[in-house]
Amino acid sequence: MAGFLNGRTAVITGSTSGLGLGYARALAAEGCAIMLNGFGEAAEIETLRADLETEYGVTVFYNNADMSVADQVFDMIKDADRRLGKIDILINNAGMQHRAPTESFPIDVWQEMLAVNLTAPFLATQAVLPQMKARDWGRIINTASTNALVASPNVSGYTATKHGILGLTKVVALETIETGVTCNAICPGTVRTNLSEHRIDTFAEQKGVPKEEALADYLKQKQPYHQPMGRFITVEEIAAAAVYLCSDAGAAMRGAAFTVDGGWTAR
């Protein structure tokens, strides 16, 4: 398919569903070849991979690396380099969430969250930077969060790792400032993805009503601070930010926290 990313390639972690899949669709629509990564049923993922190829006319591969395992992160990058021929774009999107007060936050969950949300993006970035610098072109995009900028109670692990990923973004941006490689973070507000579905399910159970009936109240309890505009942000709205960052128009974006949060951090 014709597009400004024809001939470009991208590795997108956590891209078999939700926001990562939205990134994959948006980049594929511009002609970018894709390496998917994430969890799910093998048959469903293969169908998804094949459908993306058919719909957008680009090459799509899949690697099942677990982002909590360092060696698998390195192996995924090697596999993508071999099968795609190069890696022009890296989107570090895989992430996990857990809610608990700080005093009772499980240490094993804390360690896993550090591995997935922060260490894996560091390792993947470390692995792709040499070839991006050699070609003097590359785009590294980290999915952060509004929790990279502000805090919320009961999400100490998530908030700490997202603050960390924004710090990593800024350092990499400065280290590549005189090259054609850029590094930025996208900071979404409340997007309805798989990561948020369990919270909506829990809220509906607590209210004792069907899930769809609970959605309006779920958003209201996030107002006025978390979701002041009163609706979920769409995956497509977030993915459009990634498309911009990958374009020539986004070349001056360096170390930015690209915030798409429905006004959450405006107050």
Q: Which residues are catalytic?
A: 158
Find out whether the peptide bond into 101 is cis, omega within 30 degrees of 0. no
At which residue do the structure tokens 């560091």 appear?
A: 122
**Spatial contact of 34 and 58, defined as CB atoms under 8 Å apart:** yes
Find, among 27, 175, 196, the residue nearest to 95 by Cα.
196
Which tokens belong to 55?
A: 């719909």
Burial 178-211 (b: 16+ CB within 10 A, else e): eeebbbbbbbbbbbbbbbeeeebeebbeeeeeee
CA 66 to chain centre: 15
CA distances from 267 to 162, 224, 228, 247, 262 (A): 20, 9, 10, 30, 11
**Spatial contact of 182 and 138, defined as CB atoms under 8 Å apart:** yes
**Spatial contact of 37 and 94, defined as CB atoms under 8 Å apart:** yes
Burial class (CB in 10 A: 0-12, 13-18, 19+), 152: middle
Per DSSP, what are the bridge partners of residue 100?
155
